[in-house]
Homo-oligomer: A and B are copies of this chain.
Amino acid sequence: MAVYTEVTDEALSAFLTDYDIGQGVSLKGIAEGVENTNYMLFTEQGPFILTLYEKRVEAADLPFFLGLMEHLAEHNVACPTPIHGRDGAVLRELCGRPAAVTSFLSGVSPVRPSPKQCAGVGAALARLHLAGSGYTTRRANALSHAGWRQLFELSAPGANDVEPGLADMLDREIDHLDANWPTDLPAGVIHADLFPDNVFFERERLTGLIDFYFACNDYLIYDLAICLNAWCFEPDLSFNVTKARLMTAAYRRERSISQAEIDALPLLTRGAAVRFLVTRLYDWLNQVEGALVKPKDPMEYVRKLRFHQSVLNTAAYGIE
């Protein structure tokens, strides 16, 4: 939950004159997205989302993100579509920040995803990967495998305060990932952060994907590894193989995956757990007094990583 920048009615009115969506009739700061300020904006034409990009998002990356959302929406992926201003631009400035208006998507994020919702995410992820293949702009993964060692080392001195032995375990894990990381898997645009917060449903029907601000180019199957981590653990952190089976099967019905991708999956699920563990560990050890957003407990991903370390083969993820 975070509204970092307050938009006055005067600033909103002036901003909307650059668009052809009518005058603003309501603006409510919403608790969505921790990196940016988001408003639910009603104009005479209905609801929209107004996003002001705060400092954690690189302004230079915004054309990639907004272009991707537009490309995906044109290719029938349910996601926010940037609204063009009268001058054709989708990105402009509001209250000193880069800002964009996007279409409003109905649906509610699940707090405890159902098996059927996990299947829906698998299918939507595959369709995103297929639709993304025509998007020619590229963005390197700023949180890719190559950077985990460096990120971890920033937190290594405090890691054992989170759990005794954690520094050593992570050190060895990153060595293992470095030694075994695949070098040639199908790659393309990935969402890279498709947590339940970022997926809307109306009951069991998936209505949209949001928050593309980590999207980048990387192995497609790594995106599925992120989703297995984000969707298939129960609140007690036991792994629900039924959900994993439904998710991977739904993915494969939309996009066929190679034997090399299947073989890499157990390593990539470990990698995905490490990716979220190293950023959460850093945020946990570097908490800002009075911050609007409380950092997430890194222990969740320590336990998820331990599960993946114990996996013998892809049957554990419902792939046989």
Contacts and interface: CB of A to CB of B under 8 A. Distances in A.
Interface of A: 1, 3, 6, 8-10, 12-13, 23-32, 40, 42, 47, 104-112, 200-203, 207
B31 A111 contact: no
- Looking at chain A's contact residues, the main secondary structure is mixed
A111 B6 contact: yes
Contacts of A6: 111
Given A28-B32, A106-B42, A13 B112 contact: no
Contacts of A47: 42, 47
A73 to B, nearest CB: 18
A117 to B, nearest CB: 10
Nearest to A207: B25
A1 B37 CA distance: 12
A13 to B, nearest CB: 7
Contacts of A13: 203
Given A9-B110, A26-B104, A30-B40, 5 more contacts: A8-B110, A9-B108, A24-B108, A28-B30, A29-B32
Given A9-B201, A201-B9, A108 B26 contact: yes
| Nearest 3 interchain pairs by C-beta | A29-B31, A8-B111, A25-B106
Contact of A3 (B1, B27, B104, B109): B1
Nearest to A12: B108
A9 B42 contact: no
A194 B192 CA distance: 45
Contacts of A40: 28, 30, 40
Q: How many copies does the complex hold?
A: 2
Contact of A112 (B10, B31, B105): B10
A203 B1 CA distance: 28
A25 B107 contact: yes
Contacts of A202: 23, 25
Contacts of A112: 8, 10
Nearest to A107: B26
A5 B8 CA distance: 27
Contacts of A3: 1, 31
Contact of A108 (B1, B27, B30, B200): B27
A7 to B, nearest CB: 9
Contact of A29 (B25, B30, B107, B200): B30
A3 B10 CA distance: 26
Given A28-B31, A202-B25, A111 B9 contact: yes
Contacts of A32: 28-29
Contact of A23 (B28, B29, B42, B203): B203
A30 B31 contact: yes
Given A106-B42, A108-B9, A1 B29 contact: yes
Contacts of A24: 108
A45 to B, nearest CB: 13
A200 B29 CA distance: 14
B30 A30 contact: yes
